[in-house]
Every structure is written in C-alpha cells, then in structure tokens.
Structure 1
C-alpha cells in the first residue's frame, strides 16, 4: 500500500485543504472565562512547548457514529487522524471543527491484516468501514477529490474501535456518564437523513455524488465477527457500585505473595 503522507497529490492536498470552522460544538460548558494571565500563559506554552505527539494529526475525516446497541442515538463525528504506520491509525474525535470543539472520544483504525490477528471476542468491539466509504458518508473535507479517493481506497477495508467519553449529542455540559462503545453504519436506511443532509450543506458536498465517484473502489469481504451488533451481540461499559473485581484479584495476589 502507498503511504499517502508521501504521495505528491496528498502533500498538495494538505497545503490547499481546509474544510473547517463550519460546525460549532454542541454544548456550552460551565465555568468562568479565562483570565488575561491565563491567556498569556497559554500563549507562552503554545510558542515554547514541544507538542510532538500532536504534530502527526494531519488528516481530517468527517463521519457518523451511533451508540452500540442503540442505532437511533446518532451523531456526527469529526476525526483528526494520525497515521502511526502503514497498518495503524489513531484519531481524536471532536463534536465540531471550530476552536470551541469538545473532545468526544478516540478511534483506533487498523488494516484487515492486523484485524485478522485479533482474538474473536476483541473483534466484536470493532466496526468495518466498507459501507461508510462506499456510501459516501465518510469524507475528508477540504482536499481535492483525487486525493480523497486515494485515501478512501486505503480506508475501505479497515476496521475501527471507537470509544466516546463525552456524549455531547445529549446536550451535556460536562463529560459525565459512562464511556460508550460506538459503531458505524453498514447499510442504506440506517442513518438519519436530515443529519446527513445538514452535513452535506455545511461542507457544500454531495454524499450521493461521492458514492458514485467511489463505485470503482474495490472491496473485500468483511470479517463476520466485526459489526457484532448486527447479530445482537452488544458490547458496552457497565458502571458497577461494587469494588472493581480486578482490584480484588490484584489484592488477593499481593496478599498471597506476602505470606
């Protein structure tokens, strides 16, 4: 596979692309305004501190998620992506693309080569990207069509593991509640049509047009253990009022070793 960071077309796309600042955050959080002193400290930190881990987040993808086990709770997700190597990506997910956007969660993206190495139970936490790519629902705003098409050729056979920690679609003011495993759409008729139309209008694009443009992208069979929600196998976090079982196990081991 070609590494898109080093192809000429992708490099030019990064120089000319934009596609931001058209989607505000869903929530306004409580708290006092930053003081003048804090603004100065932040400016100094921005100029002086090294931020190497953030520099690799140089691609922007816009798509949609729903809560694993509840397809009717859907939201738009703005992914800022870092490619770690040829087979592994990591993304920070925001609820908008402006300077007030809130971090909703993270997504890890792997190629089918790595996905095949996962244990069966682990695979049930992951979703495929084939439909998202082929349907035109997943877009890379601000880059030329030829560069986006090449990027989608790479993503079409990948799998994502997504955790949301701030449920801004529910108009929460703070990141409260349990983290949630998220999924991606797999067929026509699942996504909220108005949500999709609103996205297309903001970015001045056509999902239908992108679907047609991607008809030539080849597809591979999806691993039957991915998208486990389709078979009624839901995986979610559970908040328990009891002490964590792992802690009890750890304490038991420590007690035995001290005897």
Structure 2
C-alpha cells in the first residue's frame, strides 16, 4: 500500500513533540556569542525567510555505523524534508538540542528510483527494511498511527549517508574527511546498550515498536544495496590517519 503525504500529516510532524533532550557529544571551541552576534541572530530570525530549513518537517532517530566498521556505531538524529513521494533529504545531528552538531546528511529514495541506479552507485546505499521492522528507527513525539504510516513509507526506501563531523569520536571540530555510513540489516548487529540508552532517554520502546510493525511488509532488498555485507566496502581514506575508532583522549 502506497502511503501518500498530505498537508495535514506534515503539519502533524511539525507540531509533534520531539521527545526528551539529547545533548551534543562535544563542545565546539570558541568564545561565547557576543551581544552583537546575538543581536544579529535575532534580527536575522525575524527578517529572513528560511524555506529550506522550514521544510525540515520530520524528525527521525536511528543508528549508523561506519562502512567497513560495523562495530563503530552511533545514534543519529535526522531532520528531514519530504521533497516528493520518491525523495527525502535529511540533515543529521548528534543531538536534538539547539547546539547539536551537524554530523552529516542522508538522502533517501524510493525502491523504484533505487532500482534504476547503476550497480556501482547502489553500493553506496543501504536498505531500511531492518531499521523499520526492528523498531530501531523511530519518530519521537508523534502519535503511533502517524509513526506507523511513516514507517510504511520508509520500509522500502534506500539511504545514502555521509558523516562530516565525527563527534562520536569526541572530535570538537569537523576534522578529517567525510565517511560513508551504513544501517543495520539484522538482529544482533546494533549494540543493545546503545539502543537501550536511546530508548530510555527518548521514552520509546524499540521492542514494542518491533512487535507492532509486524504487519509492515518487508519488501525484497535490492541485491546492490548493503554492499558491505558482501565484502564490498567503499570508504574515503583519511589523510589525517584516523581509523575511526573511539580515541582515548578527546581530539580538537
């Protein structure tokens, strides 16, 4: 069944509560905002239109890992704009508060669009079937029926995700190069402590959501997606020498 987005549904996304606060993992270096900067911010907020930002009308919370390093995992807060029935674009943050750091972007496309991609391109994308049906992908704060409809739309989609600020490694600045991220495809891959901590903080229950999503059909996953499972790992070498493991000490 194809889910159609209506103005009312999007308005519901906008007015829904986002769940409990999740602070950023790092504090960026720099002086506090001056009175002059605060005045400029306030003036811009009143006088300037921000259509692309105002179009971010859906909040999703899930988990990513570095392509080729499924053991290095992190929570990802997605703020998404639904461009049309086939394409969604999301800004990804490390928290859901005002000073959360912009970690990267995710582009989400329908299964029909994905099927038409070249095979080499498909290797950069991950499927969303498990993320949805496992209950790990959630839309905090919206009614259950609305979230269920959203997940029906997302289950057959594919995402391409790049992280540019690796705050999960305590990076206080966006250092190094973008890294390709992937999503989980089977039970037992996501760190249960990570999922449990997220659930407790946002007041959600992944297991309960999993049970309630059994009626969401699992479409066949295109063989070109999730290429890491077949040993085809694509990643940008980092000239800074970072191997994307958690460092012992925070780095600047």
Shared fold, TM over 0.5: yes
TM-score (norm 1): 0.89
15 and 80 in structure 1: CA distance in 2 versus 1, 3 angstrom threshold = closer
Aligned to 1:72: 71
- How far has the Cα of 1:133 moved from its partner? 0.1
- How far has the Cα of 1:113 moved from its partner? 0.5
Output the CA distance in 1 between the equivalents of 2:10 and 2:178.
36
Contact conserved, 2:19 with 2:203, CA < 8 A, in 1? no
Cα-to-partner distance string for 1:85-125 (whole Å, 9 max, x where unaligned) = 11000000000000110000000000000001100000000
Q: Give secondary structure in 1 for the equivalent of 2:82.
A: strand
Output aligned runs, 1:31-50, within 5 Å: 31-50=30-49
- How far has the Cα of 1:238 moved from its partner? 2.5
Unaligned runs of 5+ in 2: 241-252
- How far has the Cα of 1:178 moved from its partner? 1.3
- How far has the Cα of 1:61 moved from its partner? 0.2
Output the CA distance in 2 between the equivalents of 1:87 and 1:76.
25
Aligned to 1:211: 210
- How far has the Cα of 1:240 moved from its partner? 6.1
TM-score (norm 2): 0.92
Aligned to 2:188: 189
Higher helix share: 1
Aligned to 1:2: 3
Runs of 4+ residues over 4 Å off in structure 1: none
Q: CA RMSD in A?
A: 1.4
Structure number, greater radius of gyration: 1
Output the CA distance in 2 between the equivalents of 1:176 and 1:16.
35
198 and 121 in structure 1: CA distance in 2 versus 1, 3 angstrom threshold = same
